[in-house]
Structure 1
Amino acid sequence: MIRFPKFFKFPAIVLFILSLTSSCVSREEIVYFQGLEKAEAVMDKQKENSLKIKPNDLLTISVSAAEQTAALPFNLPVIGVSQGGSDMGMSVTGRQQLQTYLVEDNGKIDFPVLGNIVAEGHSQQELAAKLKEKIRRYVQDPIVNVRLVNFQISVLGEVNRPGTFDIQDAYFTLPQALGMAGDLSIYGKRDNVLVMREINGVTTHAYLDLGDANVINSPYYYLQQNDVVYVEPNGPQRQSASYNRNAGVYISIASVLVSVAVLLTR
């Protein structure tokens, strides 16, 4: 029978215990939206509080109708954007692009024929319905489409593809943003995701627990323009940040020096 020295047994036992404890990860630590069946009741209410138009937003608004000639006065001219060069101006060739409306600091846009219209505080659908009601006085059965051009969100931290993303959907959620960023890395904290938002010139924030299904009822679950999502690194990742990347080199040098010293002292 092979007998190990006593000094060898203790480190081996310690390493065995550490390997067991480090490999045990509970379901609560990694599974998203636990208890979802109990959290769906007020989700629709949060959707009502989603994307709202703010000052300095850029909008595209198109008006159409069966009699398109009657709808033309309510549309800005379509411009042709030149391609393949730095000259960005009017062009006969190239792709066409709708001109945008800038929401002024007073929350209004200058709309053809109708004049100043309050856009701030409305969703895209609400503004479209408001314009449709006013245009109906001049055009039979108008169709109004409103789109927010500058809807962007940034996802930073422990995700696989951090970056700033252009969003096309009026209803865009935190999980969708994380999906665009490649989901959280294995080192990201799922119970403490930060969402930062500017409201009336003041930066607000909230920490959300993705493991708790009640996150869908947070006013920060549906993202708004220019929101920033930050995923904090977990404990082991923070500790590894302080690890000296040259430690391996130093250990190798020390090993060589010890070996040389042993040879010289024999």
Structure 2
Amino acid sequence: MRVHAIEKVVENTPIHKTFYFNDRECRNAEPGQFIMVWIPGVDEMPMSLSVIGEQQAVTVEAKGEGTKKMHEMKEGDKIGIRGPYGKGFSLSGEKKLFVAGGTGIAPLMPLIEMSDGEKTVVLGARSSHLLLFEKELKSMDVELHISTDDGSRGHKGFVTDLLEEMADADKKFDMAYACGPEIMMRKVLDFCLENSIPMEASLERYMKCGIGICGSCAIDGYHVCRDGPVFESSILSKIEDFGRWKRDETGKKVEI
């Protein structure tokens, strides 16, 4: 484990903060890879990199004991880092579609920045004040579509509604990427299979070791930490648990 001081903290939304640090091993990470972040006195948690380069960052939603504790941390506080681990996204296609729900936009940001060609981003959140990286995306060379559950910004409904509208308008894509709630990603997969669009999605599972030993993140014979977290549509379509079941911290299978 490597210990680093937090160099900068940015409050993105009322429940999201981005923590910047400088770790040599993470400078050349692949978009979609994750690191294990140790929060002193609390626990170690898997987090995807939302910024990759000379300075790196993770974007954290405050929703559990560990993430809420991290939200209390300030510049100069120390965190421990292992990784990067896992399989990241591939860079392919000339007409790319990026679909993100909530914090799921975080691991897609480095991929969007590194990609060339036509880029369409569909960004969803529960409400307008929870839209993550909207300003940053508007400053990039992307076609941005927004959806909120309550209709406070953009389309009222789900991001998958916008995909159907694009299909009806005969908009074509040759590669799709998704990250967010798993039920959403399952619907994106169904859309991509129906429209013959190759797709990659980043899965989230409870993890302990991060290197494929403990089995906490196992899903239908795959380890999310080692074989993923990014999986291709050809594999996702065969994983029966995808979008339906996951395991909690005790190993019990629970419905998503």
Q: TM-score range by the shorter chain?
A: under 0.3
TM-score (norm: length of structure 2):
0.22
TM-score (norm: length of structure 1):
0.21
Q: Larger relative CO (CA 8 A, sep 6+): 1 or 2?
A: 1
Q: Which has the higher helix share?
A: 1
Q: Which has the larger radius of gyration?
A: 1
